[in-house]
Amino acid sequence: MQNQQTPDNQGITDCGYRRDEKIPTQPVPFRCSQNTCSSCAPVNALQVAGALAMADPRRAVRVSGLPDCWEEVRRRINRLIQRIRRSGYAFEWAFHREVNPNNNGSHVHGWQCGDYIPQPLLQDSCDAVGLGLPDIRRFDAKGAPITYGMKMVLPPANTPPEQAAADLRTYLDLNGNRLVHATRGFWRDEQGRVTTLRAAMQLVAQRHQRRRPPNA
Ligand SMILES: [Zn+2]
């Protein structure tokens, strides 16, 4: 159990759960399930990634030129969705926010269901609400977990723990302490019925358990 905190990873803890642990005679290790836990956040992220794929989004949307403050990002994105819907388009999506590769500003990755939104309409709507350049393109996850927007929560195995914790802290700060945000009608179960993120994540976890060999 490690609970070291530094200014860079403030509030990030570690309950010690290891998802790769395979001890046949031991019960499933306790897992705290918090997004602020560097052991549990990657597990949660993989469940979110599976839930994203289950919703079967048809387009990938990227929006750059975001303000720094999360509350302001959320406010502008809500206004963007209102504008698109008022223009007569069905729009459900889930999104997360990442730092730009050069560490200068941030962008949003969104996974969209509903109508195709013409690029000019999307561009005008982003201009109107104070967001930067959007890009929308056809997308098909083919059932594979959509981890792409959560790279900062899914560090490669050789990442130093302090770095992983600092990246997790940065990601949570960028995203209002959540792994993903979505419109109300976005999440779907295996039959395509509207569900909640929590229920979708549970389905993904159960599916994963079913695939494990006995006693593994
Ligand atoms: Zn934990």
Other residues' Cβ atoms within 10 Å of the Cβ of residue 102: 6
Q: Which fold has domain 55-203?
A: Alpha-Beta Plaits (3.30.70)
Read off the pLDDT of residues 171-205 as tens digits, 9 standing for 90 and up: 999 999 999 999 999 999 999 999 999 999 999 99
Distance 33 CA to ligand 1 centre (A): 5
- The whole-number pLDDT of residue 203 equals 95
Distance 39 CA to ligand 1 centre (A): 5
All residue ranges of the chain with pLDDT < 70 are 1-7, 18-29, 211-216
CA distance 153 to 164: 8
Read off the pLDDT of residues 66-86 as tens digits, 9 standing for 90 and up: 999 999 999 999 999 999 999
Distance 90 CA to ligand 1 centre (A): 37
Q: Model-level pTM?
A: 0.89
- In the chain the first and final C-alpha atoms are separated, in Å, by 24
Domain residue ranges of the chain, discontinuous segments joined by + = 55-203
> What is the DSSP annotation of 26-87?
SPPPP----TTBTTHHHHHHHHHHHHHHHT---EEEEE----SSHHHHHHHHHHHHHHHHHT
Residue holding tokens 């929006």? 63
Phi, psi of 22 (to 5 degrees): -135, 90
Distance 189 CA to ligand 1 centre (A): 26
